[in-house]
Amino acid sequence: MSVAWTAISEDRLPVVVDAVRTPFVHSGGAYAELRNFELGAVPLRAVLARTGLAAGDIGMVTLGCVVQDVEATNVAREAMLTAGYPSLTPASTVSMAGISPEASVAGLCDMIALGRLDFAVGGGTENFSDLPIRMSRNVRKRAVKLGAARTTRDRLRIVAGLRPWDLIPEVPSSKDLTTGLTMGAACEAMAGRFGVTREAADTYAERSHHRAAAAWDAGWFDEEVVPVEAPDGRMVTQDDGIRADTSVDRLARLKPAFDPANGIITAGNASGLTDGATALLLASAGAADRRGLTARAIVRDYEFTGVADMASEMLMGPAVAIPRLLRRQGLTPADIAAFEVHEAFAVQILANQAGLADADYAQTVADLAAPIGEIPLDKLNIHGGSLALGNPFAATGGRLIATAIRRIRASGERYAVIATCAGGGLGAAMLLENPAAT
């Protein structure tokens, strides 16, 4: 799926007015007592407070969410109401695995470009501290039958079909339903296919943590991150997964997490379970201008894709989506000042880099005559990435957009690209343009 705004008037161009996020923290930590919609409400309030726009001006709220709460299946609706938005404002929740936030933003941009909305809020919220743990399928099926049973004898016969192991709760996992592979196991297959080594993965992980620590120390994230008051009264102000003192030597001592015999993915070179939320205020360029709001970036184009072989390419979405996006816009990596690419695993980043440089992969998967080449490291995640900052699935894409925009605004350069892989063999890329550089 793809779209370009070539036929859209300047007035209807979709723009990002502001983008904020909560600190990303370890699951089971500071946000453990918050419901997902309560966490999502925090940046929804903040993005209005920072821009001065009234909640009633928002035409639609769409949030991504991967792990759904059965009591709040439309988490966007509950979050916006908790944040004080009027009930007249519609809200929807989208789920597209780890590219859910990009899906929320892209859908709203379409509506803005078509003239259906002037202002909207997109983003995502994910709280793994409040997982929807359920009973086994046998218990669920028999519970439904119990509700329809009319006699004691019928009820006893239904209950008699239960076994002790049926009562063990089922906790959601990262295992892909189609392939049966966890994301880690799928990424190990990518490492074998593209020749990624343990040393290279650990070296990249060290880079991510050191750069994230330096960025926080320099105040880089101060504008992007809004504090959260936890239920116990603590003020959460920073991401808590950054290990400033990590080193390749320390990382090398960790045991493989998914393949004990030959694996190279460890807890040190993988992103962990993280809670967090993001919100982006989107508008048409004309509406923003008329309200005296600054358009921080134009959403020029986006690309959603799947991979060809889910068993060996599960998280190769960026290597497919980025070349297609750039080709359609007539751009090369040299034209892009900033790349923000999701780091699910260090192996995943390095495998995607190899795919971008591989001629056969470029031709068969991205339909390119020649590969675009690896993303230069001096353009890639220069302030750290998900390995250090954390990865709340439905909030990460919003963080990528927020950081990419601030990078090109700070440098005065024109283009940024964000890209994400996702479970189910999905991928997304988005082209952002600095209006001040056009």
pLDDT digits 0-9 by tens, 42-76? 999 999 999 999 999 999 999 999 988 878 889 99
Residue 281: name the closest of 3, 27, 11, 49 by CA. Answer: 49
Tell me, what's the pLDDT at 434?
98
- Is there a shared CATH topology between the 2-132+274-297 domain and the 183-219+299-437 domain? yes
Q: How confident is the model at residue 138 (pLDDT cuts 50, 70, 90)?
A: confident
Structure tokens at 301: 């184009």
pLDDT digits 0-9 by tens, 177-217? 889 898 999 999 999 999 999 999 999 999 999 999 999 99
Tell me, what's the pLDDT at 153?
83
Q: Are 334 and 413 in contact (CB under 8 A)?
A: no
Q: Are 360 and 199 in contact (CB under 8 A)?
A: no
Q: Is 95 helix (H, G, I), strand (E, B) or coil?
A: coil
Say which CATH architecture domain 183-219+299-437 belongs to. 3-Layer(aba) Sandwich (3.40)
Average pLDDT over residues 417-431: 97
Q: Is the pLDDT of residue 172 over 80?
A: no
Tell me, what's the pLDDT at 164?
77
Structure tokens at 38: 């309560």
Tell me, what's the pLDDT at 174?
67
pLDDT digits 0-9 by tens, 224-242? 999 999 999 999 999 999 9
Q: Is 296 helix (H, G, I), strand (E, B) or coil?
A: coil
Q: Where are the domains of the chain?
A: 2-132+274-297, 137-167, 183-219+299-437
Say which CATH architecture domain 2-132+274-297 belongs to. 3-Layer(aba) Sandwich (3.40)
pLDDT digits 0-9 by tens, 146-167? 788 888 887 888 888 877 777 7
Tell me, what's the pLDDT at 113?
97
Q: Is the pLDDT of residue 367 over 80?
A: no
Tell me, what's the pLDDT at 399?
98
Q: Are 236 and 30 in contact (CB under 8 A)?
A: yes
Whole-number average pLDDT of the chain: 93
pLDDT digits 0-9 by tens, 270-293? 998 899 999 999 999 999 999 999
Structure tokens at 10: 């300047």
